Structure 1
Amino acid sequence: MCAAEAPAEGTESVIAGSRALLGVIARSLAPIVEQVPLPDYRLLVLLCSRGLLSRVEIVPLLDVTGLGLDEMLRRLAAGHLIDYQDGGVAATSKGRALVDEVTERRRAEVARLLGGMSMAERRTVTEGLALIAAAAGEPRPEELLILGL
């Protein structure tokens, strides 16, 4: 492999950490995955974290086609997890409750993992993950508080 093709430094450590977090995520989603497919759940999380979104805003966020989005919206609306407001799509209280339920399961497991680390290790982990979240375009926790989430 030539130098231009070498992965960014730290890639393997991030992959290993993401694998561990994927286990946390899978366990937190297990009770609902038959009710809400993962891509649909991701849309629900976006609606909960960003508020009302238009179809035009959703397509690039999920990298789906218009037809794929239509199917997702149909499934979520049939489950009363979303509704249409003022030309956009929003999570219902039932949809927000579902996201909150999954998030609380995930939060408990992450707290357990962090509880086994020193303060310095926790700071390193949280700072690194905050950088990854920012690079991925995720809202900062303080932005979610402004939205009331």
Structure 2
Amino acid sequence: MDALTTAAADATLAASRALLGVVARSVTAALDVVTLPQFRVLVVLSSAGPTRMSTLAERMGANPSTFSRSIDRMIAGGWVERGPSPESRREVLITLTSGGRELVDDVTERRRQGIAAILSTLTAEQQKAVRDALQLFADAAGETSASDLLTLGT
């Protein structure tokens, strides 16, 4: 690795640690009411919509019977609902409730505010440079798999 690539990698690592701090702070309040694995379920349902129980368990890397008990606790907490699929009454769909949606939206907004607070310390020109650099990085990295994102409950 050449010196420029090494310096760019080090700067990116420092930025990723700063962003991870924002992520951790944004999810702290949510972890007062749900566990991190439960929050991961809410994030998946927020982006994927109603999902078959078996598919959701697979995406979470969970044993279906153990996962069903976890879903029972989430239903009791008012975060998700369980119901039959409109296509097949044999399939069970898990759906995010309005309370679950609010929790995910709150974490997302906290994250957005944390990032905005950091960016507000920069000039408009610096903010544009950050935006452009992060877009270049995201484009070069390509699409991150959902399973990779689920590791941290993002």
Normalized against structure 2, the TM-score is what?
0.71
Question: Which 5+ residue runs of structure 2 have no aligned equivalent?
Answer: 1-5, 86-91, 148-154
Distance 1:75 1:102 in 2: 21
CA 112–75 in structure 1, closer or farther in 2 if over 3 Å, else same:
same
For the pair shown, the structure with the greater C-alpha radius of gyration is 2
Question: Are residues 1:121 and 2:130 paired?
Answer: yes
CA 132–98 in structure 1, closer or farther in 2 if over 3 Å, else same:
farther
Q: Which amino acid aligns with 1:93?
A: S
Distance 2:81 2:36 in 1: 19
Q: Deviations over 1:4-61 (max 9, x none)?
A: xxxxx87766554333222111111111212101110011011011101012221232
SS of corresponding position for 1:118: helix
The answer to whether the 8 Å contact 1:24/1:109 transfers is: yes
Deviates more, 1:85-94 or 1:124-133: 124-133
CA 133–38 in structure 1, closer or farther in 2 if over 3 Å, else same:
farther
Aligned length: 131
Q: CA RMSD in A?
A: 2.7
Distance 2:55 2:139 in 1: 24
> Identical aligned pairs, as a percentage?
31
Alignment equivalent of 1:47, drawn from 45, 48, 51: 45
SS of corresponding position for 1:134: coil
Q: Deviations over 1:93-141 (max 9, x none)?
A: 1110111111111111112233424312222113424665722248xxx
Distance 2:111 2:44 in 1: 17
Normalized against structure 1, the TM-score is what?
0.73
